[in-house]
Amino acid sequence: MAPSRTAPADRPSRLRPGSRVAVVAPSGPVPADRLEAGLGVLREWGLEPVVAPHVLDVHPELGYLAGTDADRAADLQAAWCDPAVDAVICARGGYGAHRMVDLVDWAAVRAAGPKAFVGYSDITVLHEAFALRAGFATLHGPMVATEAFLKDAPTREHLRATLFEPETVLTLGLDTAAALVPGRARGVLYGGCVSLLAADAGTPHARNGARGGLLVIEDTGEEPYRLDGILTRLLRSGALEGVSGVVCGSWQECGPYEKIRAVLADRFGPLGIPVIEELGFGHGPTALTVPLGVEAVLDAPADGGRCTLTVEAPALR
């Protein structure tokens, strides 16, 4: 049975110079030039990137997928179960993780133990799977073939610090962060791209409640009425039952922000929990890395003071 309570997960070990990092493509096709540029950044950090066999594949009929479902799942599982691999970073999001997630042998993944896993957007599906099927903490962060990682220095540096020196980035929040609903809450971080969470709701391995959880959400390309439907589905399904607070990131290309803000206030306000808006993660130009599966404190002062999300222990051991 899917859990109704969000519990702390096993944290992976931090990276060091020489760590081997597998790059996988669980979702959409990966541009070769962007991949090579991203691999160059990893090498500059002193890491040894290992590109999974099917990263540059394109599905023979469905061109929005990076190869077949079976191959994408096999790449992820092989990378995770390889004892010589220290971390797994996704190349990009797009679409496709829902199609391959059930093809992964999660018992084998669980037996292999935790590793640093990085991704966002469509990768939300895998964050939830690692949390619920394996019990591992993961990192909602930039991927190596995405624009923010390649073009935004603060985005890259925050991920680098999280991987190598996680104790230096315990408090998260850009200057844009503000209190949509003031208050303070503690819980275990979970979430990601909210449309993917809604798509997961009701499936056999999805969570059926959120007691003890702090929800982090963002999205891209969703009109206000569609975001309303997404949040309403999560509320009606019981997936948000007991959630202690909500932290919102970017809403890139989701329509005028004042209308998005109105939807967030309408759907979350009646819950009586604190909500931070525009913390600074997701599809925006600067994307902080947010640990998932670890305990944190949301602080949204009513007096207009700085809003923050503070992780209570480093994301990586």
- pTM here is 0.96
Q: How confident is the model at residue 3 (pLDDT cuts 50, 70, 90)?
A: low
Measuring CA to CA, how many Å separate 236 from each of 66, 89, 225, 240?
33, 33, 16, 9
Q: Which of 121, 195, 244, 250 is catalytic?
A: 121
At residue 164, the pLDDT reads: 98
Residue 266: predicted pLDDT: 98
Name 271's Cβ contacts closer than 8 Å, sequence gap at least 6. Answer: 240, 243
Question: How do the domains of the chain map onto residue ranges?
Answer: 20-166, 171-311
The single residue listed with the structure tokens 């499936």 is 203
121: annotated active-site residue: yes
- pLDDT of 6 reads 80
Q: Which residue has the tokens 């110079």?
A: 17
Structure tokens at 179: 């209190």
pLDDT of 8 reads 82
Tokens read off for 43: 């090498």
pLDDT score, position 308: 96
Residue 177 or 3, more confident: 177
State the sign of the Cα–Cα–Cα–Cα dihedral 148, 153, 159, 160: positive
When the pLDDT of each residue in the chain is averaged and rounded to a whole number, the result is 96
**Helix pair angle (224-237, 257-268), 10° resolution:** 20
Q: Are strands 275-277 and 138-140 parallel, antiparallel or unpaired?
A: unpaired
Q: Would you state the pLDDT for residue 2?
A: 60
Contact 294, 9 (CB under 8 A): yes
pLDDT in tens, 58-106: 999 999 999 999 999 999 999 999 999 999 999 999 999 999 999 999 9
Q: Please give the full DSSP string across the chain, using - where no structure is assigned.
A: ---SB----BPPPPP-TT-EEEEE-SSS---HHHHHHHHHHHHHTT-EEEE-TTTT---SS-TTSSS-HHHHHHHHHHHHH-TT--EEEES--SS-HHHHGGGS-HHHHHHH---EEEE-GGGHHHHHHIIIII-B-EEE---TTSHHHHH-HHHHHHHHHHHH-GGG--EE--TT-EEEE-EEEEEEEEEEEHHHHHHHTTSTTS-S--BTEEEEEEEES--HHHHHHHHHHHHHHTTTTT--EEEEEEEETSS-HHHHHHHHHHHHGGGT--EEE--S-SSSSS---EEESSEEEEEE-TTS---EEEESS-S--
Q: Which residues pair with 24 in a beta bridge?
A: 90
| pLDDT mean over 171-199 | 97
Residues of the chain with pLDDT > 90: what percent? 96
In CATH terms, is domain 20-166 a member of 3.40.50.720?
Answer: no
* Residue 209 pLDDT greater than 70, yes or no: yes
Position 90 scores a pLDDT of: 98
pLDDT on residue 304: 85
Of the listed 218, 222, 277, 295, which one is catalytic?
Answer: 218
pLDDT band, residue 4 (cuts 50/70/90): low
The CATH number of the domain covering residues in 171-311: 3.50.30.60
Distance, CA of 249 to CA of 218 (rounded, Å): 5
Angle at 254 between CA 252 and CA 260, to 5 degrees: 110
233-251: per-residue pLDDT in tens? 999 999 999 999 999 999 9
Amino acid at 32: A
Instruction: Yes or no: say if 105 and 177 are a contact pair by the CB < 8 Å rule.
Output: no
Q: How far apart are CA 113 and CA 275, in angstroms?
A: 33
Say what the pLDDT of residue 7 is.
Answer: 77
The average pLDDT across 266-290 equals: 97
**Catalytic: which of 128, 140, 283, 295?**
283
- Establish whether 283 is a catalytic residue: yes
Answer yes or no: is pLDDT of 51 > 60. Answer: yes
Q: Side-chain half-sphere of 74: how many Cα atoms within 13 Å?
A: 9
